[in-house]
Amino acid sequence: MSVQQKAMMLIGRPVGISLRNGQGVSGVICTVQGNEVYIMQYMYQSQFATHHYNFNMIADITPFPPC
């Protein structure tokens, strides 16, 4: 399954994203538009921000496991 297909299936769910540069991010997938995935990420205190990542930057997307 491609990363784009995974992203579409996981809209609205918390995920971890492995980037090709070795970094990782986590958040909730808001939408997939064009060649990008939009993630709502926690910043600090009560602030959140939407970030977008091109699929060329993403190695894998993994859903959060249950508690």
Could you tell me the pTM of the whole model? Answer: 0.90
pLDDT 10s digits, 9-62: 999 999 999 999 999 999 999 999 999 999 999 999 999 999 999 999 999 999
* Per-residue confidence band for 63, with pLDDT thresholds at 50, 70 and 90: very high
Q: What is the pLDDT of residue 55?
A: 97
Q: What is the pLDDT of residue 45?
A: 92
Tokens 């070795």 identify what position?
22
| Contacts (Cβ under 8 Å, ≥6 apart) of 18 | 24, 58, 59, 60, 61, 62
Q: What is the pLDDT of residue 49?
A: 97
